[in-house]
A and B are shown apart, each in its own frame.
Chain A
Amino acid sequence: MRTLYDKLWDSHLVREEAGGMALMYVDRHLIHEVTSPQAYEGLRLAGRTPWRTESIVATADHNTPTTHWDEGIRDPISRTQVEALDENIGRYGAKAYFPFRDRRQGIVHVIGPENGATLPGMTVVCGDSHTSTHGAFAALAFGIGTSEVEHVLATQCLITRKAKSMLIRVDGRLAPGVTAKDLVLAIIGRIGTAGGTGHAIEFGGEAIRALSMEGRMTVCNMAIEAGARAGMIAFDDTTRAYLEGRRYAPKGDTWDRAVAYWRTLVSDAGAAFDTTHVIDASTVAPQVTWGTSPEMVAPIDARVPDPDRERDAARREGMARALEYMGLEPNVPIADIRIDKVFIGSCTNSRIEDLREAANVVRGRRVAANVRLAMVVPGSGLVKAQAEAEGLDRTFRDAGFEWREPGCSMCLAMNDDRLEPGERCASTSNRNFEGRQGAGGRTHLVSPAMAAAAALTGHFVDVRRLS
């Protein structure tokens, strides 16, 4: 009896070394401009060439602007990095490249799945920690460093060691108005940001089965915020339905053969996990982070915690430091926290379903006067086009949101989209670290529906109470 992780591991094991290290074959190598230039340079200096360019899917996303595309990339350092990617892909080749301004360009973790370039049973790597996203397709997907990017380019393999296995089983159903983002934030709140360290997490149970692929991607995306390099979800009809007909998905007889194989990509009944956590979905409320780590999270109806009530000295100090950075007093109701900016986007929450969820809250209303900027950044050109076909852009614009071009944008603020010191943001991204969205910026992680609701009221509010 094997877990899904065991099956994915076994089917990519090239050789085992003494002491538990192993050589693992890589099927899909996703590449973006920030973590690849040094890898290509290393390859070049060593006189090597990529092993299998057919495995590579590349795009520019981190540095690209979200406005004025006609003017190109104005920041010369960002432009150099994006041009380096153009040059490297031009020189060595790839299965697919979606450069800046291509209609299929977008966040690497959005475009892989939407083009059918992420498939079940694959090993997927990228020089980006949120590669765990692709595990939603019953793939073994995880982030790697730039030296490993070079290693995969040169050898099509990674030297790695098998992780421990963890099952997070989510029983029951999420309440209406509670989303995949709330669920994964609640999970991180429960197990902590190091709870999954050294593990590959499989998310299972009724509530996970009930999620769309977009929701599953949101959950797996944030496995890394629980410390796990990889998160994954078993294959089922939802996976199949999402992939059928996508650009790089198999067709005809090959599709049928593939689906037959993919059906085996589930944990066998009775397979043993090293660790199991059980969560009752019905107890999960909309979540808002209050601190500078994703584990510093609370339900919307709670209050900012009081460090004085924390018994562990290290945790108490961490909480106090976080509250000072965030400019928050203990015991203040979360719903009383007023915001300056709203960001709907990122590899966590920029897919079509996320935008629909936010638009449904926004429709017919206006952004509150105290909100300086509310922006929607679609995850890709295809998501943007789909949203516009559905009229979501009008819904957002009519309410006072800015409707931007796709990219990573203010999730990590490498382009011009950022918080100013002291600004407070309701953000659908994945990290609330100090300075993540701009030096001195204060990030509260929420779902797209909760971000939309906060934009309309100017403070956090339970989206279920907005009628």
Chain B
Amino acid sequence: MQPFRVHSGIVAPLDRANVDTDAIIPKQFLKSIRRSGFGPNLFDAWRYTDPGEPGQDPASRHPNPEFVLNQPRYRDASILIARRNFGCGSSREHAPWALADYGFRALIAPSYADIFFNNCFKNGLLPIVLPESAVDRLFADVAAFPGYTLTIDLPAQAVRSADGAVAFPFDVEPFRKECLLNGWDDIGLTLRHADEIRTFEARHLAEQPWL
């Protein structure tokens, strides 16, 4: 996994609540057996006016000029801000895969759905929770200043604007923070406890032999 330490980038505003994972990556793209290549179909139904199907040449598509990521000022965005309950619905990890493949490194929203939130950390994508008031401020600033960038400092757990006018602290679980900072693979970490798992398993299956 790609480590995450300090990231600065252009911010794109997706001003919607309850953005579901079907919207992030529609079902027809879930037929792939790979982890990569989902970026061109991120938000497909909102981003293009023509119907999206697997295997299309992205250059042949018709971008919807109204959609935020198609606006020139947000084209190189790597930080997405959104409203509450982002990532609800389907557990598809294709959603964070698509966001990361597109080039997003971090998300900022007042809340996320649980499975999506968890999936992000496995893919070097940092989902930051900020209070509604802070998110409101970011939406206002992004709209006001073309090229608006933020710096996300994971070691310091802070989101800062380039001019220092905005500085919000954020929480992150210590375990997840360590994994992100180091780009650690969870499975390797868990397998360090393989003996404990075996001991637990032997007792558990003896107590409940029907399992």
Interface residues of A (CB under 8 A from B): 11-12, 14-15, 17-21, 23, 25, 27, 34-35, 37-38, 41, 46, 48, 51-52, 62-63, 75, 77-78, 80-81, 84, 119, 121-122, 127-129, 142-148, 150-151, 154-157, 159, 161, 163, 193-194, 197-198, 224, 227-229, 249-250, 254-255, 257-258, 261, 293, 314, 318, 321, 412-414, 431, 433-436, 439
Contacts and interface: CB of A to CB of B under 8 A. Distances in A.
Interface string B110-125: 0101110011001100
Contacts of A129: 89-91, 115
Contacts of A15: 193, 196
Given A145-B93, A151-B187, A198-B114, A227 B88 contact: yes
B63 to A, nearest CB: 16
Given A20-B173, A258-B208, 10 more contacts: A21-B175, A25-B200, A51-B197, A127-B91, A142-B115, A144-B118, A151-B187, A154-B191, A157-B197, A193-B88
B82 to A, nearest CB: 12
Contacts of A121: 208
Contact of B197 (A25, A224, A321): A25
B31 A414 contact: yes
A380 B20 CA distance: 28
A163 to B, nearest CB: 8
B164 interface: no
Nearest to B188: A46
Nearest to B211: A27
Contacts of B52: 439
Contact of B31 (A20, A77, A127): A77
Interface of B: 16-18, 20, 22-23, 26-28, 30-35, 45, 51-52, 54-55, 83-85, 88-93, 96, 111, 113-115, 118-119, 122-123, 173-175, 186-187, 189-191, 193-194, 196-197, 200-201, 204, 208-211
9 contacts: A127-B91, A129-B91, A154-B190, A194-B111, A228-B114, A258-B210, A314-B83, A436-B27, A439-B51
A48 B20 CA distance: 33
A151 B186 contact: yes
8 smallest A-B Cβ distances: which pairs? A147-B122, A250-B210, A145-B119, A145-B93, A37-B33, A143-B91, A129-B91, A146-B93
Nearest to A314: B17
Contact of A38 (B20, B35, B113): B35
Nearest to B122: A147
A19 B91 contact: no
Contacts of B90: 129, 412, 431
A23 B173 contact: no
A165 B85 CA distance: 19
Contact of B33 (A18, A48, A84, A435): A84
B91 A435 contact: no
A27 B205 CA distance: 9
Nearest to A82: B31
Contact of A318 (B17, B34, B92): B17
Contact of B187 (A12, A75, A143, A154): A154
A147 B186 contact: yes
B210 A145 contact: no
A14 B200 contact: yes
B90 to A, nearest CB: 5
A119 B210 contact: yes
B175 A18 contact: yes
Given A37-B33, A414-B28, A14 B197 contact: yes
Nearest to B175: A21
A436 B28 CA distance: 10
A436 B173 contact: no
Contact of B118 (A34, A77, A122, A145): A145
Contact of B174 (A19, A77, A198, A250): A19
Given A46-B187, A147-B122, A193 B85 contact: yes
